[in-house]
Structure 1
Amino acid sequence: MHVLPALLAEIPFWKNPDYLKRAAITLLILVTAFLLWRLLRRGRARLDDLLQSKRRTVPPLHIRGLQLLTGSQIVSAVTLLSVAVFYGLVLLDVIVALLLTFSQFPATERYVNLVLGWVLTPLHDLYYGFLASLPNLITILVIALLTRFILKAVSFLFTKADEGAINLSPWVHRDVALPTGQIVRAVIIVIALFLIAPRIPGTGSEAAKGLSVVIGLMVSFGSSSTVGNVIAGIVLTYMRPFRVGDRVQIQGTTGDVMERTFLYTKLLTPKNEEVLIPSTKALDGNITNYSAQARSGNLILYTTVTIGYDTPWQTVHQLLIDAALKTEMVAPNPQPFVLQTALDDFYIHYQVNAFTAHAEAMPRIYSELHRNIQDAFNAAGVEIMSPHYTQLRDGNQSTVQGPLKPKATRFRVAMD
């Protein structure tokens, strides 16, 4: 309340010879602030019109094929940001105008100095704090640049090793060059972070220590399965059980390997289903790689039929081999072969085996092979079946074929 009387005491011209000068300066300050406000308002209106006109033409934001924001969302975000900037500049305009206005009067000048102290003291502390931490910031910059250079060199080295341009054997096999490069890059980044962390301003404060403890607990409790997957993925990588593109069977799922990471393996089944198998699950079970031997043409596809004892085994063998040779993508050399895997009471198990170099076409090869077997046996008049007999053998003709076949005898039944 004592400010207003003191201010009014200065208004009469005869008590303040600089009144007209101060009034003119105050008026100029207010007019300038008003013009700046009008300019800001007009600029915001034009920016809003421009953003609205571009709402449907702004392309969406993609990062590595993943759409993060649509064009409309980007325009809305920029509009919201422009509103925040507008009101911030208006507030700054008003504060500066008031401070300059109050500085024209001795009665309010000390309040201006007080407010300026509130604002300038933190800025002063930040400035001298920045100067004090400048050596550490330069060191951080040097470490970051050196780390970036080393990462690029490591990436180039292992990429060329994966392409076969550089031979790192026997230390690093070509199949695991890229995963090894990822591990080396991760180790280099961790070392760089250990070197940078102590030099970041504020990392020695109690708040930073408490925050690091909380983050460490969250990571340790929430990432146990992730860490297990990563370790299992590293083990699988250096076991080299399959490559990208191989036809494999993992945990009962058969498909082509689309992607292999330390966390999971992605398979594409013959039915175009994408299946993600965690590395821990893949390591715990059996892994069957069909493409490993198919690359050299030595993958064997096989199927079994059961035929009665009345059909000579030579006939069955020839029919199965002929059916296999008629099958597309079955190699004629080595020639298909037949194994008799079991002699049951009433029929024999015949297993036909054929070589192929096309693991990716296994379902089609099996389907065509089964069709050809049916056609071959139907043409020869041989039934594909598992016969069962209930009969009296005394006097019946034996099913044994060839020169060992016993002579037929008449049926003897004694009647009392």
Structure 2
Amino acid sequence: MHVLPALLAEIPFWKNPDYLKRAAITLLILVTAFLLWRLLRRGRARLDDLLQSKRRTVPPLHIRGLQLLTGSQIVSALSLLSLTLFYGLALLNVIVALLLTFSQFPATERYVNLVLGWVLTPLHDLYYGFLASLPNLITILVIAILTRFILKAVSFLFTKADEGAINLSPWVHRDVALPTGQIVRAVIILIALFLIAPRIPGTGSEAAKGLSVVIGLMVSFGSSSTVGNVIAGIVLTYMRPFRVGDRVQIQGTTGDVMERTFLYTKLLTPKNEEVLIPSTKALDGNITNYSAQARSGNLILYTTVTIGYDTPWQTIHQLLIDAALKTEMVEPNPQPFVLQTALDDFYIHYQVNAFTAHAEAMPRIYSELHRNIQDAFNAAGMEIMSPHYTQLRDGNQSTVQGPLKPKATRFRVAMD
């Protein structure tokens, strides 16, 4: 019966009343941590119930008409975020409770200081590093704001120049106003980046410089063709060989210019085929612009027929001119004209030239012109000497089509 009081007398708890205070504080810490954990758990459950009840009523997320997330996906993302936040706060609650508990006992107090050092030292460094970088961050913010205002002013200026509200000639022509604006904007952004780069925290270290060099080399070797296309596109832009909507021929492809960028030119052929031509390819070859002269009605369409020597050239000239004038979208003034381009063994080459203002309708104009030439010569009883005939036939008989064609007669070929 006297053993228990003796044992209790040996326990430091009873010798030092401060242990009772420490035990009470420890118990209070554990109870508080438990209550906080229950509060977090209940709060998360209520939040999850609220999100699930709103799953069908949350509207989808749209940006400029493009749906990025449905309402169900938004609710799922918020639910995942709440779960992550719950586990993070619960873990923080446990860590704080353990640190406060261990700090109550001298035997474990040094471990608490060690762990706090691991956590607080990086936070201390980040805090003072942020304070040291604050002037540079403010400078970066000012440069970014000024750059944004300048870019908006440049965009407004060159957009108005493209619309014709502002005249920047002779420095910048209207048809190259938008590409020039893009170049100016790119230069302004590069200048801003050069001003910002030295002020970014960490860019002064040797590792960051080495990484910048490696990235620069990778971009240089990996995009040499792209850079070449951009340079060729800039040259083409200021050469002004065509506009959007012009009928052109580039690298043997004929079509209307749908889009022109620094990297490529997009053509729509008469067969509704979209063709992308890289800027380097366009710069290396010939570019034929049919619309440049068609806008003033001076585009010349021409075709050649071959007629025998027995027909007066005055008659042929008149027939070809009449056929051209009957063709729709051929300009009567200036009047079509005929050139005799070659004197061959059996026939003469007559080239009829007609003016038009409709470059986009070239295939249809040519087709109608050829039909009218055929009708005119058939009506006049004249034979177009092409294509060549390889079969035997009576040379005295004509191949004229229509009611004026003479009646065919037989002929005999004598063989020795």
Q: TM-score range by the shorter chain?
A: 0.7 to 0.9
| Inter-partner Cα distance in structure 1 for 2:390 and 2:145 | 87
Provide the C-alpha distance between the structure 2 equivalents of 1:4 and 1:270, rounded to a whole number of angstroms.
109
Measure how far apart 1:252 and its partner are: 0.9
Change (3 A) 1:402 1:19: closer
- In the alignment, structure 1 segments of 5+ residues that lack a partner are none
Give the superposition deviation at 1:204. 0.9
In structure 2, relative to structure 1, the CA distance for the partners of 1:373 and 1:118 (3 Å cut) is same
The SS at the match of 2:403 is: helix
Shift of 1:218: 0.8
Match of 1:351, SS?
Answer: strand
Report how far residue 7 of structure 1 moved: 17
Q: Distance in 2 between matches of 1:408 and 1:42?
A: 108
Maintained 8 Å contact 2:378/2:402: no
* Cα separation, partners in 2 of 1:122 and 1:308, compared to 1, 3 Å: same
Q: Could you tell which deviates more after superposition, 98-107 or 391-400?
A: 391-400
**How far off its partner does 1:259 sit?**
1.6
Deviations 1:61-96 (A, max 9, x none): 887898888888777766665554454344333323
Deviation of 1:386 (Å): 2.2
Change (3 A) 1:10 1:348: farther
CA contact (8 A) 2:176 2:240 kept: yes
Cα–Cα, structure 1 residues 120 and 6, in superposed 2: closer, same or farther, change >3 Å?
farther
The answer on whether the counterparts of 1:233 and 1:261 sit within 8 Å (CA) in structure 2 is yes
Instruction: Identify the range of structure 1 (97-106 vs 64-73) with the bigger mean alpha-carbon deviation.
Output: 64-73
Cα offsets for 1:283-323 (capped at 9, x unmatched) = 11101111111111111112222233344333333332233
| CA deviation map 1:211-243 (0-9, x unaligned) | 112112112211222221121111111111111
Deviation at 1:389, TM superposition (A): 8.7
> What is the CA distance between 1:18 and its match in structure 2?
6.3
Q: Aligned residues: percent identity?
A: 97
Which stretch shows the higher mean deviation, 6-15 or 26-35?
6-15
Q: Scaled by the length of structure 1, what TM-score is found?
A: 0.80
Is the contact between residue 383 and residue 399 of structure 2 (CA under 8 Å) also seen in structure 1? no
Contact kept? 1:7, 1:107, Cα under 8 Å: no
Alpha carbons 2:383, 2:400 under 8 Å: kept:
no
Contact 2:133 2:201 in 1 (8 A): yes
C-alpha deviation, 1:108, in angstroms? 3.0
Taking a change above 3 Å as real, the CA distance of residues 112 and 392 of structure 1, as seen in their structure-2 partners, is closer
Q: Distance in 2 between matches of 1:409 and 1:206?
A: 99
**TM-score scaled by structure 2?**
0.80
Q: What per-residue deviation string (whole Å, max 9, x for no partner) do you get for residues 38-65 of structure 1?
A: 5655666677778788889988888789
Partner of 1:390 in structure 2? 390
Q: For the aligned residues, what is the CA RMSD?
A: 6.0
**C-alpha contact 1:230 1:262 (8 A) present in aligned 2:** yes
Contact 1:151–1:188 (Cα < 8 Å) also in 2: yes
CA distance in 1 between partners of 2:205 and 2:348 (Å): 82
Separation (CA, whole Å) in 2 of partners of 1:4 and 1:327? 128
Q: Decide whether the 8 Å contact of 1:10 with 1:16 is kept in 2.
A: no
Question: Is 2:381–2:404's contact at 8 Å kept on the other side of the alignment?
Answer: no
- How far did residue 98 of structure 1 move? 2.6
Which of 213-222 and 32-41 deviates more? Answer: 32-41
Shift of 1:261: 1.6
**Residues 16/255 of structure 1: CA separation in 2 closer, same or farther (3 Å cut):** farther
1:177-219 deviations in Å (ceiling 9; x for gaps): 2222222222222122111111111111122111112112112
Q: Contact 1:330–1:356 (CA<8 Å) still a contact in 2?
A: yes
Structure 1 contact 396–409 (Cα < 8 Å) conserved? no
Q: Displacement of 1:124 after TM fit?
A: 0.9
What's the secondary structure of 1:249's corresponding residue? Answer: strand
CA distances 1:307-360 after superposition (whole Å, capped 9, x unpaired): 333443333333322332222222222222222222211222222222111112
| Change beyond 3 A, Cα 1:409–1:331 | closer
Q: 1:407 to 1:343 in 2, by over 3 A?
A: farther
Larger displacement relative to structure 2 (103-112 or 144-153): 103-112
Matched position secondary structure for 2:306: strand
Gaps of 5+ in 2: none
In structure 2, the CA distance between the partners of 1:268 and 1:45, relative to structure 1 (3 Å rule), is: farther
- Which segment is superposed worse, 75-84 or 176-185? 75-84
Partner of 2:218: 218
Deviation at 1:282, TM superposition (A): 0.9
Contact 2:244 2:260 (8 Å CA) reproduced? yes
**Deviation of residue 171 (structure 1)?**
1.6
